[in-house]
A = this chain, B = another copy of it.
Amino acid sequence: MTKTKILSILKKSKKYVSGEDLAKKAEVSRTAVWKHIEALKRGGYRIEAKPKVGYRLIETPDILSPFEIGSGLKSKILGCKIFCFKEVTSTQEIAKKLAVQDCVEGTVVVAEKQTRGRGRIGREWVSPLGGVWLSIVLRPNLPPQYAQRITLTTSVAVAKTVRRLYGLNAKIKWPNDVLVDGYKVCGVLVEASGEADRINYMVVGVGVNLNVDFSMVKPNLSKTATSISQILGRKVSRVEFIREFLFEMEKAYITLTKNRFNQILAEWRKLSETLGCRVKVISQKEVFTGEALDVDEDGYLLVRLKDGTVKRVVSGDVSIRKE
C-alpha cells in the first residue's frame, strides 16, 4: 500500500522529505503523494508540509493498525500477523475462527472495542474504546493441561509490562487477574482446543483497562476495577503497550515451551498478590477459607485450611480477605 509506504519513509526520516523523493520512492505521482498525505492527516497523523522543502512527521497518533503495531515490534513470532478491527463481538471469537482456518502461530487480533467481551466462565468483560482488547493464537507442542500454565505465564508478562512502562506496582491475583493497588487492570483468558494429549491451538486473550474511565461506562465496576489512565492521570499509548507486551509475552512463552515453567513460577510468586494471604475460595463444589500457601508446578493454587490440610484449587473464584 502506497500510504503505508509513504508513512514508513516519513517515520524513518527525522528530517523533511521532499515531495519529489516521496513520489520516487513510493513510485507514484506527486499529486498522489499529496493525496495520501492529506489522508494520513485526516487519520490523525500530524505532518508538517514546508513549501519547497517537503514533509515531516511530527506526531503519530495512537492508532491500532498492523502497520503502527508492527513497526518497532521486537517479538519475532507473536504479531507476525496482526488483524485490527474497529469493533468486534470479541477478539477471542475472531482468533478462534482464524485458528480453525489454520492461521499461523503468533497471529494477533486487536480491536478498538468489543461488544461481547468475555472473561472466565463466560462472564461479561466490559470493553469500551481506550482499552487493549487482544487475542493471540498459539500452537504449542504441549499437552492440553498446560492451559493453566499459559494463564500464569500471560499474567506475568502483563504485570511486567505494566511495571516497566508505567512504574506501577502491578500484582497478580490467582489465577488470571493483574491488579494495581488491589484494583483490577487486566484479565487473562486462555482457551485451548485439542486432543487428549496435544493442543491443536490455544487462544490467549488479554483485556487491559488502559485508557478507560469506568465512571463514564459502568460506574459499578469502579468498586473493583480501575485503569492505567485513571491511576496515572493521563492517557498512555495502546500501540506502545501492545508492542511491549507482545515482546514480554514472547520471551515468557519461549521459556515455557523450553520446559522452564519453574522460572515463570518464580517470577509469578514474586508478583503474586494472593500468596501468604487469607483467601476465600468459591468453587462449584464447595466454599472454604484458608491461607494461600503456594502454586504447584501445574499452576494450581495450594490453600492450607485451619485444620492443616492443604487443598489444591483447580478452578473457582478466590478472593483475598483483609485481616
Contact = CB atoms under 8 A, between A and B. Distances in A.
Interface string A190-226: 1111111110100000000000000000000000000
Contacts of A150: 196
A121 B193 contact: no
Contacts of A141: 284
Contact of A315 (B151, B191, B197): B197
Nearest to A144: B144
Interface string A108-151: 00000000000011000000000000000000010111011011
Interface size class of A (residues with CB under 8 A): 20 to 34
Contacts of A19: none
Interface in A29-46: none
Main secondary structure of the interface of A (DSSP, over half): mixed
A117 to B, nearest CB: 15
A314 interface: yes
A116 to B, nearest CB: 14
A316 to B, nearest CB: 8
Number of copies: 2
Q: Which of A150, A189, A192 is most buried by chain B, counting CB atoms within 10 A of its CB? A: A192
Contacts of A196: 147-148, 150-151, 175, 190, 192, 299, 315
A174 to B, nearest CB: 12
Contacts of A175: 196-197
Interface string A279-323: 000001000000000000001000000000000001110000000
Contacts of A192: 144, 193-196
Given A175-B196, A190-B195, A191-B194, A147 B144 contact: yes
Nearest to A299: B196
Nearest to A283: B197
A155 to B, nearest CB: 12
Nearest 8 A/B pairs, CB to CB: A197-B315, A147-B196, A193-B193, A148-B196, A145-B145, A151-B196, A144-B144, A190-B196
8 contacts: A144-B147, A147-B194, A148-B197, A150-B196, A175-B197, A191-B193, A192-B196, A197-B316
